[in-house]
């Protein structure tokens, strides 16, 4: 079985990757300058011309693009080629406000499928595999992205899309799906549903899962791996830059390799915009080196994470990103303290809870209220008030130790929090600020 989809690129020496990036960057900057008046104006305001960008070390001279720019330029303002050359659009799920639209030429789609194919092969996929894609199909990039990758690899693709859990389970078991692609929260839900129907991990034909589109913790990974009897791989992407497959995990499970031949990455200080040294936590910024229709330069993702170029045991040479800690705008400020939902999830999972929880924030008399509502597992569920009180206290102490602030804990019955088929809704902020 092939270990890589494109070994010569995925394992290329660093100097070769760098040379390739330098050349593509020069070309891409010129393409944008000539075809995107919106970005050209931003460059002019900063006093930069394409002549100033001769290699990736000049990247910092270019202006940033943000989600606000994408909204200002909606719908066609950042399009860099004639509409007749475009074959598709996708749109963000709008987790954080108005949707944005990204355009693709056929070459853009092919490049993206190639990236997703690398992810599937890294998860042990090959032509003999049955790949069930339970990410939503449609405007969301999840379904289409993995679908393209699965076709490139030559798997038997089962495009179930999201939802209809009974049907998911029927296809999964009847067609003996070996690879499952969906959001981690849906994977956890499917696992729970299979367990309820009496399936043990060894009855489930799956060997691997490719889960992404939302943050998930190592603890959640272990949980899903156990319930489904699989190895679970992370995959990262965003609509603005293409979709899932911008970065993917290899068997080492030590961070996700970013497809550096197509995407140039930096981490910056979100407050000052300064480029940070490798290994320092900051906001991820991407420059797409190949995209023709919607080539974003220095796009600020608001995802907070760290990068490493330490050699990886899998042999791939592309830079790795750690699991994003959440978005800089996902970060909650509760009673003045910065809180990432991922920190809360880690504490919950360490205390034996499944990832079915909600964080509810409100404001009473100018003070923030902070409630963590979490489902007990069936084994924990009991009528013994003393036992529940003890659990509540243990959780409250651990959360306080992790976050520095106290939360009100509500332990609720199993299955009482609504499940999501796509990205989970974990934060309910009722403060009108």
Q: Which one of the spans 14-22, 70-78, 194-202, 314-322 is the region binding Zn ion (CB under 5 A)?
A: 314-322
Residue 399 within binding range of Zn ion, rule CB under 5 A: no
Which residue's CB is nearer to ligand ADP, number 58 or number 225? 225
- Residue 64, Cβ neighbours under 10 Å: how many? 16
Rounded to the nearest whole angstrom, what is the least distance from the CB of residue 220 to Zn ion in the complex?
Answer: 21
Q: How far apart are CA 158 and CA 258, in angstroms?
A: 26
What phi, psi does 80 have (nearest 5°)?
Answer: -110, 5
252 binds, among ligand ADP, Zn ion, none (CB under 5 to 8 A by kind): Zn ion
Residue 312 within binding range of Zn ion, rule CB under 5 A: yes
Which residue's CB is nearer to ligand ADP, number 191 or number 212? 212
Which residue's CB is nearer to Zn ion, number 302 or number 318? 318
255 binds, among Zn ion, ligand ADP, none (CB under 5 to 8 A by kind): none
Which residue's CB is nearer to ligand ADP, number 165 or number 242? 242
Give DSSP secondary structure letters for 305-367.
E-EE-S--TTS--S-EEPPP--BTTT-EEETTEEE-HHHHHHHHHHTT--S-EEEEEEEETTE
Site string for Zn ion, 259-298 (x = CB under 5 A): ----------------------------------------
Q: Which one of the spans 70-78, 212-220, 308-316, 422-430 is the region binding Zn ion (CB under 5 A)?
A: 308-316
CB 357 within 8 A of CB 426: yes
Residue 318 within binding range of Zn ion, rule CB under 5 A: no
Tokens 């693009």 label which residue?
65
- Residue 200, Cβ neighbours under 10 Å: how many? 10
Element (H, E) at 397: helix 385-403
- Residue 176, Cβ neighbours under 10 Å: how many? 14
Strands (DSSP E) along 33-110, which ranges? 86-91, 101-105
215 binds, among ligand ADP, Zn ion, none (CB under 5 to 8 A by kind): ligand ADP
Tokens 């990757």 label which residue?
17
Rounded to the nearest whole angstrom, what is the least distance from the CB of residue 385 to ligand ADP in the complex?
Answer: 38
Which residue's CB is nearer to ligand ADP, number 318 or number 391? 318
Which residue's CB is nearer to ligand ADP, number 413 or number 428? 428
Name the residues that contact ligand ADP, by CB under 6 A. 92-96, 141, 212-215, 234-239, 301, 303, 323-324, 327
Site string for Zn ion, 215-254 (x = CB under 5 A): -----------------------------------x-x--
- Which residues partner with 334 through β-bridges? 337
47: its two tokens: 């006093």
Chain-centre distance for alpha carbon 145: 13
Rounded to the nearest whole angstrom, what is the least distance from the CB of residue 371 to ligand ADP in the complex?
Answer: 24
324 binds, among Zn ion, ligand ADP, none (CB under 5 to 8 A by kind): ligand ADP
Which residue's CB is nearer to ligand ADP, number 12 or number 144? 144
Residue 29 within binding range of Zn ion, rule CB under 5 A: no
327 binds, among ligand ADP, Zn ion, none (CB under 5 to 8 A by kind): ligand ADP
Residue 121 within binding range of Zn ion, rule CB under 5 A: no
**Distance (Å) of CA 10 to CA 4, 186, 301, 318:** 7, 30, 24, 7
Element (H, E) at 286: strand 282-288
165 binds, among ligand ADP, Zn ion, none (CB under 5 to 8 A by kind): none
- Residue 13, Cβ neighbours under 10 Å: how many? 9
Q: How far apart are CA 58 and CA 348, in angstroms?
A: 44
Residues interacting with Zn ion, by CB under 5 A? 250, 252, 312, 314, 316
């Amino acid at each position: 079985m092939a270990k890589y989809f494109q070994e010569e690129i995925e394992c290329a020496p660093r100097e070769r990757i760098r040379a390739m990036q330098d050349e593509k960057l020069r070309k891409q900057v010129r393409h944008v300058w000539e075809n995107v008046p919106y970005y050209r104006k931003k460059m002019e305001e900063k006093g930069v011309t394409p002549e100033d960008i001769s290699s990736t070390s000049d990247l910092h001279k270019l202006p940033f693009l943000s989600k606000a720019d994408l909204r200002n330029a909606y719908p066609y303002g950042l399009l860099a080629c004639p509409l007749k050359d475009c074959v598709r659009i996708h749109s963000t799920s709008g987790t954080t406000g108005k949707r944005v639209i990204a355009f693709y030429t056929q070459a853009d789609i092919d490049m993206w499928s190639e990236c997703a194919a690398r992810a599937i092969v890294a998860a042990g996929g090959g032509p003999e595999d049955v790949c069930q894609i339970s990410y939503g199909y449609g405007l969301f990039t999840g379904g289409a992205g993995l679908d393209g990758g699965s076709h490139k690899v030559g798997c038997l693709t089962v495009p179930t899309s999201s939802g209809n859990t009974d049907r998911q389970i029927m296809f999964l078991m009847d067609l003996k799906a070996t690879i499952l692609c969906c959001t981690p929260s849906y994977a956890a839900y499917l696992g729970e549903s299979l367990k309820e129907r009496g399936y043990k991990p060894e009855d489930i034909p799956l060997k691997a899962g490719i889960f992404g589109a939302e943050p998930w913790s190592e603890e959640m990974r272990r949980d899903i791996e156990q319930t489904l009897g699989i190895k679970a791989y992370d995959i990262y992407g965003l609509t603005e830059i293409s979709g899932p497959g911008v970065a993917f995990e290899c068997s080492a499970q030590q961070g996700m390799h970013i497809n550096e031949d197509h995407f140039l990455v930096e981490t910056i200080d979100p407050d000052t915009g300064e480029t940070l040294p490798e290994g320092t936590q900051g906001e991820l910024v991407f420059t797409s080196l190949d995209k023709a229709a919607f080539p974003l330069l220095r796009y600020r993702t608001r995802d907070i994470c760290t990068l490493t170029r330490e050699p990886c045991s899998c042999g791939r040479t592309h830079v790795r990103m750690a699991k994003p800690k959440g978005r800089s705008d996902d970060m909650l400020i509760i009673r003045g303290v910065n809180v990432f939902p991922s920190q809360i999830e880690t504490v919950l999972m360490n205390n034996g809870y499944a990832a079915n929880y909600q964080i509810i924030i409100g404001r009473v008399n100018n003070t923030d209220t902070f409630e963590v509502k979490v489902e007990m597992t069936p084994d924990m569920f009991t009528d013994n008030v003393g036992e529940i009180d003890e659990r509540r206290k243990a959780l409250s102490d651990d959360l306080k130790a992790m976050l520095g602030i106290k939360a009100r804990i509500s332990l609720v019955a199993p299955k009482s929090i609504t499940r999501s088929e796509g990205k989970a809704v974990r934060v309910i902020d009722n403060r009108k600020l």
